């Protein structure tokens, strides 16, 4: 008898986007002429940088003749891209990360979801609340949690991000944590962590023989040079942290697909008997067994992000979204709503002073603007909405004018 992995039955269906779609449909039926503006989108809206397009075209042409044709590439990624990443994203900020510690992949979603496979079944996992759901659901599927009770899975430790701690989870009182997921700049709150705050997490990991999984998918939005761009800017982090990055939000690769994971050779985990073991060979084995590499034209396009033209174009791209974010943040603040994010992040986390869904409905019904209710990201998201800066300038300005009219009666 073929049997299922019953851990999947524990997964709480995410009604968030289904529920949003249902409410938007109902609004459309009742207001057929309304022009809806979607400010809830977690996807980029602008075209790929010119440098990436050129590199991709040239790479496709290489595949057109037998002399320069490429079949399977290295599973870990081509050296040209891994070298460019190590030099530009790490060495340039004083982080001693080398090309062979970088694993190129087709997405940070897959990487943050797959990484847990190399760790033991009976470890204790800590996740932020509110959270990017991938971290939680992949551990549920793997059987590391109990059932979902009142919005939280049993056996998971929830690291609360709220107004009181400035949306940076505090170091937990319990030392019984083995794997810690952190994400900065954060999705959904837009919060960024200082060097001091990250240092505390690295020290906690060291003291407790734990490991940090650091998701830096939004690093390109950091404009304040004092904010760490990488966990490896913290001394000793290469022994206790794995970092995830993506070209998705950096250079508009959400549909193109390219990302990477950094596993330093010094990074350590332990056997049951307490013997230290490097994590790098484990991930190398996992990655090369189950993955056959990102396509050559896409890796060439990603490499172009680091060319002088690519850098300038990516900066222009991100500056555009950051200007949107500033407009949103200033508008919502001027209406008296407390906001986080939106300066070194494309997301603005707005305190609604009411139920998330109630506020969502008000913006939909009175302004025809769609946002994302914070409650959909975890219990600590109740009382917030997330507004995204991924949109056209026109839409952002019009959405903010409509919201002003709707709320500032
Ligand atoms: C968008 C996003 C990613 C990137 O995912 P890709 O699979 O690389 O497109 C990773 N982490 C977070 C928190 C994100 O919001």
DSSP states along 55-110: HHHHHHHHHTSTTT---S--TT--HHHHHHHIIIIIGGGT----GGGEEEES-HHH
Q: How far, in Å, from the CA of 103 to the mean position of ligand 1?
A: 16
Ligand 1 pocket, residue 189 CB under 6 Å: no
Average pLDDT over residues 81-85: 98
For residue 171, the enclosing domain spans 53-307
Is the same domain home to 299 and 363? no
The answer to whether residue 321 scores a pLDDT higher than 60 is yes
Is the same domain home to 19 and 129? no
Looking at the chain, how many residues does it have? 409
The answer to whether residue 15 scores a pLDDT higher than 90 is no
Count of domains in the chain? Answer: 2
Q: Which of 111, 136, 186, 187 to mutate to test the pocket of ligand 1 (most atoms within 8 A of CB)?
A: 187
Q: Any bridge partners for residue 387, and if so which?
A: 348
Angle, helices 393-407 vs 308-334, to 10°: value is 10
Is the same domain home to 177 and 60? yes
For residue 111, give the ligand 1 atom closest to its CA: 7
Is the same domain home to 101 and 165? yes
CATH number, residue 193: 3.40.640.10
**Out of 41-45, 291-295, 400-404, least confident range:** 41-45
Atom 14 of ligand 1: nearest residue by CA position: 217
pLDDT per residue over 239-278, tens digit each?
999 999 999 999 999 999 999 999 999 999 999 999 999 9
Average pLDDT over residues 152-164: 97
B/e letters for 178-197, b = 16+ CB within 10 Å, e = fewer, are bbbbbbbbbbbbbbbbeeeb
Neighbours of 337 (CB within 10 A): 19
- Asked if residue 1 belongs to a domain, the reply is no
- Asked if residue 249 belongs to a domain, the reply is yes
Phi-psi region of 293 (alpha: psi -120 to 50; beta: other; left: phi over 0): left
Ligand 1 pocket, residue 245 CB under 6 Å: no
Query: How far is it, in rounded angstroms, from Cα 138 to Cα 226?
Result: 33
Ligand 1 pocket, residue 248 CB under 6 Å: yes
Atom 15 of ligand 1: nearest residue by CA position: 187
Q: How far, in Å, from the CA of 336 to the mean position of ligand 1?
A: 31
Is the same domain home to 374 and 239? no
Query: How far is it, in rounded angstroms, from Cα 369 to Cα 362?
Result: 9
Ligand 1 pocket, residue 343 CB under 6 Å: no
Ligand 1 pocket, residue 109 CB under 6 Å: yes
Average pLDDT, the chain: 97
Q: What is the pLDDT of residue 97?
A: 98
Q: How far, in Å, from the CA of 147 to the mean position of ligand 1?
A: 26
Q: What is the pLDDT of residue 146?
A: 97
**Out of 10-24, 69-83, 209-223, least confident range:** 10-24
Average pLDDT over residues 83-98: 98
Q: How far, in Å, from the CA of 109 to the mean position of ligand 1?
A: 5
Is the same domain home to 288 and 366? no
Q: What is the pLDDT of residue 18?
A: 86
- Asked if residue 121 belongs to a domain, the reply is yes
Is the same domain home to 176 and 31? no
pLDDT per residue over 181-227, tens digit each?
999 999 999 999 999 999 999 999 999 999 999 999 999 999 999 99
Q: Which of 307, 331, 361 is the last residue of a domain?
A: 307
* Cβ burial, residue 325 (10 Å; 0-12/13-18/19+): buried
Query: How far is it, in rounded angstroms, from Cα 119 to Cα 125?
Result: 11
**Out of 96-105, 330-339, 400-409, least confident range:** 400-409
Is the same domain home to 333 and 352? yes
Average pLDDT over residues 32-48: 94
Is the same domain home to 73 and 147? yes
- Asked if residue 341 belongs to a domain, the reply is yes
Ligand 1 pocket, residue 197 CB under 6 Å: no
Write a three-state SS string for 325-393: HHHHHHHHHHCCCCEEECCCCCEEEEECCCCHHHHHHHHHHHHCEECEEHHHHCHHHCCEEEEECCCCH
Write 79-82 long-range contacts (CB < 8 A, 24+): 80/299, 80/303, 81/299, 81/302, 81/303, 82/260
- Asked if residue 70 belongs to a domain, the reply is yes
Q: What is the pLDDT of residue 75?
A: 98
Q: How far, in Å, from the CA of 245 to the mean position of ligand 1?
A: 8
- Asked if residue 152 belongs to a domain, the reply is yes
Is the same domain home to 75 and 214? yes
Q: What is the pLDDT of residue 224?
A: 97
**Residue 45, CA atoms < 13 Å, CB-side half-sphere:** 18
Is the same domain home to 216 and 329? no
Name, in order, each residue with C-beta under 8 angstroms of 394's C-beta and a sequence gap of 6 or more: none
The answer to whether residue 63 scores a pLDDT higher than 60 is yes
The answer to whether residue 409 scores a pLDDT higher than 70 is no
Q: Which of 307, 329, 357 is the last residue of a domain?
A: 307
pLDDT per residue over 131-144, tens digit each?
999 999 999 999 99
The percent of residues above 90 in pLDDT, for the chain, comes to 96
Average pLDDT over residues 149-155: 95
pLDDT per residue over 308-319, tens digit each?
999 999 999 999
More confident residue, 18 or 13: 18
Ligand 1 pocket, residue 183 CB under 6 Å: yes
Is the same domain home to 301 and 360? no
Q: Which of 307, 341, 372 is the last residue of a domain?
A: 307
Structure token digits, residue 354: 């009411």
Q: What is the pLDDT of residue 176?
A: 92
Residue (of 285, 112, 307, 69) closest to 215 by Cα position: 112
């Amino acid at each position: 008898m073929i049997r299922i992995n019953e851990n999947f039955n524990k997964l709480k269906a995410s009604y968030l986007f289904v529920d949003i779609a249902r409410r938007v449909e109902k609004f459309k039926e009742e207001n057929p002429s309304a022009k809806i503006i979607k400010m809830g989108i977690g996807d980029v809206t602008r075209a790929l940088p010119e440098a990436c397009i050129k590199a991709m075209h040239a790479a496709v042409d290489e595949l057109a003749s037998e002399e320069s044709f490429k079949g399977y590439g290295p599973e870990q990624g081509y050296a040209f891209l891994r070298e460019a990443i190590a030099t530009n994203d790490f060495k340039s900020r004083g982080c001693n990360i080398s090309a062979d510690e970088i694993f190129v992949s087709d997405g940070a979603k897959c990487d943050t979801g797959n990484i847990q496979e190399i760790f033991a079944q009976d470890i204790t996992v800590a996740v932020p609340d509110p959270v990017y759901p991938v971290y939680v659901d992949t551990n549920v599927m793997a059987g590391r949690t109990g059932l979902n009770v009142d919005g939280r899975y049993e056996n998971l430790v929830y690291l609360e991000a709220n107004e009181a701690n400035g949306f940076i989870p505090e170091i937990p009182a319990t030392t019984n944590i083995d794997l810690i997921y952190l994400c900065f700049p954060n999705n959904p709150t837009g919060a960024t962590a200082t060097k001091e705050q990250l240092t505390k997490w690295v020290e906690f990991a060291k003291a407790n023989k734990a490991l940090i999984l650091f998701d830096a998918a939004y690093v390109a939005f950091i404009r304040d040079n004092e904010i760490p761009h990488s966990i490896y800017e913290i001394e000793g982090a290469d022994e206790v942290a794995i970092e995830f990055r993506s070209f998705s939000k950096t250079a508009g690769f959400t549909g193109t697909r390219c990302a990477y994971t950094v596993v330093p050779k010094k990074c350590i985990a332990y056997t049951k008997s307490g013997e230290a073991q490097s994590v790098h060979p484990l991930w190398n084995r996992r990655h090369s067994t189950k993955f056959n590499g990102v396509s050559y034209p896409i890796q060439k396009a990603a490499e172009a992000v680091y060319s002088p033209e690519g850098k300038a174009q990516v900066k222009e791209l991100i500056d555009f979204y950051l200007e949107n974010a500033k407009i949103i943040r200033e508008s919502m603040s001027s209406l008296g709503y407390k906001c986080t994010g939106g300066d070194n992040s494309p997301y603005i986390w707005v305190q609604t002073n009411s139920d998330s869904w109630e506020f969502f409905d008000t913006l939909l019904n009175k302004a025809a603007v769609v946002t994302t209710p914070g409650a959909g990201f975890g219990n600590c998201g109740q009382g917030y909405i997330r507004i995204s800066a991924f949109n056209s300038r026109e839409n952002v300005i019009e959405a903010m004018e409509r919201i002003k009219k709707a709320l500032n009666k």
